[in-house]
Amino acid sequence: MKWQLNPRLLALPALAALVALVGLRWRQSPEESITVAPSLPPAAFQWHRLPAPAGNATAPTRHPLQPPYPHPYRFLLNQPHKCRERAPFLVLLVATGSEDTGGRNCIRHTWGNESSVPGVSILRLFLLGLHPVFADALGPVLQEENAEHGDLLQQDFLDTYNNLTLKTLMGMEWVSKHCPNATYVMKADRDVFLNLDYLVRRLLLPPKTAFVTGYIYRKTGPLRSKAYKWYVPYEVYPNATYPPYCGGPGYVLSADVASKVYAVAQTLPLINMEDAFVGICLHALGIGVTDSPWGAFSMARIRYEPCRFARAVMVHRYSPQEVLELWPRFQGAKGTCEPSPVQG
């Protein structure tokens, strides 16, 4: 497969090397307040869970791990016209780093191909924030990539792990404001293998409302140790357990739910665990999660087997480059595996 790159994209390998070198030093500790682009004013944030201070005690301030929200984040790259003359059956929102041009190209040519399910209208969009170091250098490159593909959404928050909640809410905001006529929304991470044909044919038809599915976590709680990447302090989320939620690498919502999640998020204190926060929103809305068929959403990497992957929606921990290598074999094996029963 041969791609033609624009001249600006030829500078990406050098830029990627710089990103990697800086990344060795850019180890954000849990207490560092690196969430919003420096030029933005702080948001007025109101905490709704912790008790009010007594007497003359100082009111609680936003914890560094708690992204400011609601906040007037601006779209730097937007696609407001995409749904004006079409009603997509599935809006695919893919979270990637702003520097990951190569990964996005691999996804466009594999599971993110909008023509991957014949007869089904799919709209693919990539979710980006601002690179913490190279935002200015990447700006023109992203503008050129967006001019070629027209599939980038970017707001002016910093693109860090603890801001993944903001990235997902940006996607939900876009659907709510610019594509309310969609049927379903899927949020996916970059490091997954997706089988959209199986998803559509076996899980999404006939169309449903008030529907959410994925790999479901129940009766789990926040990790309180700072040694963990998923550390959530009491000040951010004081409850001992989360409501049921779908694992972040890939989950599906009917579009009515996506719009409701965005709306209710304006009233809830955010937490830095994106998938758990969506579960908190669903709980506030009184919307339950639907169990998926066993093995349809694999949170662990599993060895590639054509018929096993033919009956999976999502397999985690496959890089875009690995998927690009597997894709011809996966496509060639279609029709050779016994189909699984249709979900009602």
Judge whether 156 and 139 are in contact, CB under 8 Å. Answer: no
Residue 126 lies in a domain: yes
What span, in angstroms and rounded, lies between the C-alpha atoms of 344 and 332?
Answer: 28
State the residue range of the domain holding 209.
Answer: 65-332
Residue 97 lies in a domain: yes
Residue 129 lies in a domain: yes
What pLDDT score was predicted for residue 60? Answer: 58
What pLDDT score was predicted for residue 334? Answer: 86
Residue 14 lies in a domain: no
What pLDDT score was predicted for residue 338? Answer: 74
* Average pLDDT per 10 consecutive residues for the chain, totaling 344 residues: 48 49 37 30 35 52 90 97 97 98 98 97 98 98 98 97 97 98 98 98 97 98 95 96 98 98 97 98 98 97 96 98 97 82 49
Residue 37 lies in a domain: no
DSSP alpha helix (H) spans, the chain: 12-25, 101-108, 135-149, 164-178, 196-198, 255-265, 274-285, 306-310, 320-332
What span, in angstroms and rounded, lies between the C-alpha atoms of 102 and 242?
Answer: 35
Domain count, the chain: 1
Distances (CA, A) of 86 to 92, 147, 178, 186: 15, 20, 11, 18
What pLDDT score was predicted for residue 1? Answer: 46
What span, in angstroms and rounded, lies between the C-alpha atoms of 272 and 162?
Answer: 5
What pLDDT score was predicted for residue 15? Answer: 52
Strands 75-77 and 152-158: antiparallel
Residue 253 lies in a domain: yes
What span, in angstroms and rounded, lies between the C-alpha atoms of 236 and 60?
Answer: 11
Residue 176 lies in a domain: yes
Question: What CATH number does residue 192 fall under?
Answer: 3.90.550
What span, in angstroms and rounded, lies between the C-alpha atoms of 290 and 218?
Answer: 12
Residue 31 lies in a domain: no
